[in-house]
Structure 1
Amino acid sequence: MTLVIALSGTLVPEAFAQKRNLPLIRDAEIEGLLRLYTRPVFKAAGINPGSVRVYLIEDQRINAFVAGGQRIFVHTGLLLESETPNETIGVLAHETGHIAGGHLARMGNELDKASVTSIVGMLLGVAATVGGAMAGSSDAARAGSGIMAGSQGLAQRNFLAYARDMESSADQAALKYLESTKQSAKGMITMFEQLARESIATLHNVDPYILSHPMPMERIRNLERTAQKSKYFNSADPPALVLRHQLMQAKLIGYTNGAQAVMQKYPTSDQSMPARYARAIALFRRGDIQNALPVINSLTDELPQNPYFWELKGQALLENGRAAEAIAPIQRALKILPNNGLIQMLMAQALIDTESKASAKQAVKMLRLAQKSEGETPVIFKSLARAYAQLGDIPRAELATAEAALLQGDRKLAIEKAKAAQTRFKTGSPEWTRASDVLTFASRK
């Protein structure tokens, strides 16, 4: 299910994403690369790599953050602006420091110590101060500082000082993880320097004591003093990893930019693999499958062991109404990555779109396999509903529709379909029980 932007957690139903309307992106290739980046860092931090999820947010700003437990959220802007894998890995190492340090739980304790009034005042003060600075208004910045200096000022400053300490602690932890994995901290420093340049105007009139992060140049100086002592400081990324990083960036540009912007970034004179990748995506997305296929074929011919090139070919054919032809290349991708849930979902979609009962049976099996890694997601249940409908199994189609509706927050539809399905199943059967569960959850206020 390559690069599907999911608003309000459509594909990733975590409560954190749903409540904040984060535009999450799901993509097998990018997620695989991020797992490759984070696995050694997590191990160095003493964290089970399987216990942390990394999510991608469609946002052009350079940022990453930890929230909702052991979850790291990465902006597309960070991936696009990082020139090397090491730059991205450095930021991810910093976020890992927050997880390993238990900073979120401890931050909650600090918040508990402050009154609600203090917290609200703190947020208003920071907003006014930073907003004034960004607008170039020193008066507004001072006004914000005035709010912070009120009766709750001490509690607010203590809280923010604690936040700054956590950031410094995460920086030092990141240095340790990178050293342990024989990687350079240069990339992390480079990204922080870029952030510092972007924030100079914003921070010009801001009191350093009301910031939740250390002042940029002070932070960089502290990092450099330690990082430059490492024998790995000048270590370079492996060429194969650099290529994967460039392919990831090309994919993001191909999907998130218009065809004209893609062609400007990657003109036809550029015959590098990333350039062809981006152009192929831009071509098929505008419906030019005739010119897209030769470019995709050049990629699969040159690097047939890359599953994502085969996935792209399958998706291009599928989205241009050639579902039957899409099955073979997706099968090639699954042969290389047999347990990838997103590619399994793409295969199921292709099978369903062929509109045959035999293919529908295969699609149900494929979707059940996808559930092992993807869990309960609306797209899986929507596809199951289509497959069951093609098989003439209306009760299961209605139950799957009810489950998809529940996950998307459509309680009315969930109740309607669950009731319709339940009447057709034997009382006490697994399907009847599942329909009953849907009714229970959907009826809660």
Structure 2
Amino acid sequence: MAQPKNIPLIRDAEIEGLLRLYTRPIFKAAGINPKAVKVYIIDDSRINAFVAGGQRIFINTGLLMQSKTPNEVIGVLAHETGHIAGGHLARMGVEIESASYTAIIGMLLGLAAIAGGALAGNAEAAQAGQGIMAGSQGLAQRNFLAYARGMESSADQAALKYLTATKQSGQGMIELFEKLSRQSIASLRNIDPYVMSHPMPLERIRNLEQSAKKSPYFNAKDPPALMLRHELVQAKLLGFTGGAQAVMQRYPTSDQSLPARYARAIAMFRKGDIKNALSVIDGLTAELPENPYFWELKGQALLENGRAVEAVAPLQKALKLLPNNGLIQFMTAQALIDTEKPKNAEAALKLLRQAQRSDGESSALYKYMARAYAQTGDIPRAELATAEAALLQGDRKLAIDKAKSAQKRFKTGTPEWTRANDVLTFASRD
């Protein structure tokens, strides 16, 4: 699991894989190309999900953690898909459509704080959310919220249509909104409806129930295998974000289920108890050897404890099971580079290029590329990669210095020379 700096986003191969499994049938039912929609995970304990910037869905870890079944999460994702399919963001203007997802989060998290604070009866959170939105680029707060409220019922009905088409129940959506209703039963009495982005929960539940119960799949249950994956993701999230005490409260040692052992193993290695963590992880891989994420966890535990040489084998096992996963490609490359062996650096560069194609560019990727090139003795490309990393981090001076140094070493007109020139051009702009 990785977390980008400055914004509360989480990247994790297992969670993203599960969300793809949840969304792919829904997107197809909605007539949307699954590859055209990006789903982002926000490190926020509140129950929330929203669409922004076109075909981008943002989902809080709180929604994943507090949902009892996959169906609850799928229902919410179906609702957000309804917004996308209905073109509900079209009126938000060019500013939001063209903004980076970092800027979008600034505004939408303000909205989430307003709605979440209201639902939880937390006036301070709602006020803080208003402050966030006031300082973010976008449309006027009340106009935005009024538009959002008008689209919610439409998205609910679209979600039920997609769930029926995929032979899934709408019961999860209802259960989630009932949960929110119980949380807000007292606080909503004095809430201005114009600072709510969604219809009042009780009204929403009534409308949903009437439509959902008409589906022949209303009583359909989640498959056991999907339920297990859902519970494993919840265990992983708690292990990484909740701390050892929270893990032991939810998963005492008497609980020998796969999710419980998974969470405890993560908590152990996070607090430095690598010996016991590896023992538990080995038990998990022995029980489910085809689960790539158990092997990934073993590799990560070893890598983060300075045992890169040992980390390579389990990460390569994970990669064999999921050969096209950019995050696992990147972590495997990290381990290979940390062995400080030129032969491994060549293999790492191949993986980094694959990760770049599947996952896009990042400063971290270019930093590891620079290290790998340096280990192979390719200093010009190491300097160019360093310049790329610096540019993405906003360090213009370093980007210019390294790009100039790299450009001198490449023949004029070659792809590397041209890229170094591009970095110079971008870094020199006012």
Match of 1:329 in 2: 314
Say which of 390, 398, 404 aligns to 1:413: 398
Q: 1:6 and 2:7 equivalent?
A: no
CA contact (8 A) 1:29 1:308 kept: yes
Q: 1:311 and 2:291 equivalent?
A: no
CA contact (8 A) 1:167 1:213 kept: yes
SS of aligned partner of 2:301: helix
Say which of 285, 288, 295 aligns to 1:300: 285
1:246 and 1:159 map into 2 onto residues whose CA distance is 36
1:135 and 1:392 map into 2 onto residues whose CA distance is 58
CA contact (8 A) 1:107 1:163 kept: no
Residue 78 of structure 2 aligns to which amino acid in structure 1?
A
Match of 1:340 in 2: 325
The alpha-carbon distance between structure 1 residues 313 and 212, as it changes in their structure 2 partners (threshold 3 A), is: closer
2:245 and 2:336 map into 1 onto residues whose CA distance is 33
Deviation at 1:211, TM superposition (A): 3.5
Deviation at 1:397, TM superposition (A): 1.0
CA contact (8 A) 2:299 2:315 kept: yes
Alignment of structure 1 residues 338-377 onto 2, 5 Å: 338-377=323-362
Say which of 13, 34, 48 aligns to 1:63: 48
Match of 1:435 in 2: 420
Match of 2:374 in 1: 389
Residue 48 of structure 1 aligns to which amino acid in structure 2?
N
The alpha-carbon distance between structure 1 residues 221 and 388, as it changes in their structure 2 partners (threshold 3 A), is: same
SS of aligned partner of 2:221: coil
Residue 156 of structure 2 aligns to which amino acid in structure 1?
D
Q: 1:72 and 2:57 equivalent?
A: yes
Bigger Cα displacement from structure 2, 202-211 vs 163-172:
202-211
Bigger Cα displacement from structure 2, 291-300 vs 192-201:
192-201
Say which of 275, 285, 301 aligns to 2:270: 285
Q: 1:254 and 2:239 equivalent?
A: yes
The alpha-carbon distance between structure 1 residues 136 and 282, as it changes in their structure 2 partners (threshold 3 A), is: closer
2:76 and 2:306 map into 1 onto residues whose CA distance is 41
Deviation at 1:157, TM superposition (A): 7.4
C-alpha RMSD over aligned residues:
2.6
2:200 and 2:34 map into 1 onto residues whose CA distance is 31
Residue 3 of structure 2 aligns to which amino acid in structure 1?
I
CA contact (8 A) 2:121 2:184 kept: no
Task: Please give the per-residue CA displacement for 1:142-183, whole angstroms capped at 9, x wherever unaligned.
Answer: xx9xxxxxxxxxx99776544322111111110100011000
Residue 46 of structure 2 aligns to which amino acid in structure 1?
R
Q: 1:203 and 2:191 equivalent?
A: no
Match of 1:12 in 2: none
Say which of 315, 320, 325 aligns to 2:305: 320
- Normalising by the residue count of structure 2, what TM-score does the alignment of the two structures yield? 0.88
1:321 and 1:170 map into 2 onto residues whose CA distance is 48
Match of 1:426 in 2: 411
Unaligned 5+ runs, structure 1: 9-21, 112-122, 145-154
Residue 171 of structure 2 aligns to which amino acid in structure 1?
K
Residue 324 of structure 1 aligns to which amino acid in structure 2?
V
Alignment of structure 1 residues 16-415 onto 2, 5 Å: 22-108=7-93, 134=121, 160-208=145-193, 211-415=196-400
Residue 311 of structure 2 aligns to which amino acid in structure 1?
A
Task: Please give the per-residue CA displacement for 1:311-350, whole angstroms capped at 9, x wherever unaligned.
Answer: 1111111111211111111111111111111111111011
Deviation at 1:107, TM superposition (A): 3.9
SS of aligned partner of 2:411: coil
The alpha-carbon distance between structure 1 residues 283 and 341, as it changes in their structure 2 partners (threshold 3 A), is: same
1:310 and 1:217 map into 2 onto residues whose CA distance is 45
Residue 223 of structure 1 aligns to which amino acid in structure 2?
L
Residue 369 of structure 1 aligns to which amino acid in structure 2?
Q
Residue 217 of structure 2 aligns to which amino acid in structure 1?
Y
The alpha-carbon distance between structure 1 residues 206 and 238, as it changes in their structure 2 partners (threshold 3 A), is: same
SS of aligned partner of 1:399: helix
Match of 2:135 in 1: none
- Normalising by the residue count of structure 1, what TM-score does the alignment of the two structures yield? 0.85
SS of aligned partner of 2:41: strand
1:353 and 1:135 map into 2 onto residues whose CA distance is 47
Match of 1:149 in 2: none
Unaligned 5+ runs, structure 2: 97-109, 131-139
Residue 306 of structure 1 aligns to which amino acid in structure 2?
N
Residue 240 of structure 1 aligns to which amino acid in structure 2?
A
SS of aligned partner of 2:190: coil
1:53 and 1:307 map into 2 onto residues whose CA distance is 22
SS of aligned partner of 1:360: helix
Deviation at 1:61, TM superposition (A): 0.7
Deviation at 1:299, TM superposition (A): 0.5
Task: Please give the per-residue CA displacement for 1:218-277, whole angstroms capped at 9, x wherever unaligned.
Answer: 011000011011111111100000000000000000001222221222111111000000
CA contact (8 A) 2:10 2:42 kept: yes
Deviation at 1:210, TM superposition (A): 5.6
CA contact (8 A) 2:370 2:382 kept: yes
Match of 1:152 in 2: none
SS of aligned partner of 1:74: strand
1:340 and 1:270 map into 2 onto residues whose CA distance is 31
1:217 and 1:231 map into 2 onto residues whose CA distance is 24
CA contact (8 A) 1:344 1:366 kept: yes
Residue 378 of structure 1 aligns to which amino acid in structure 2?
S
The alpha-carbon distance between structure 1 residues 287 and 211, as it changes in their structure 2 partners (threshold 3 A), is: closer
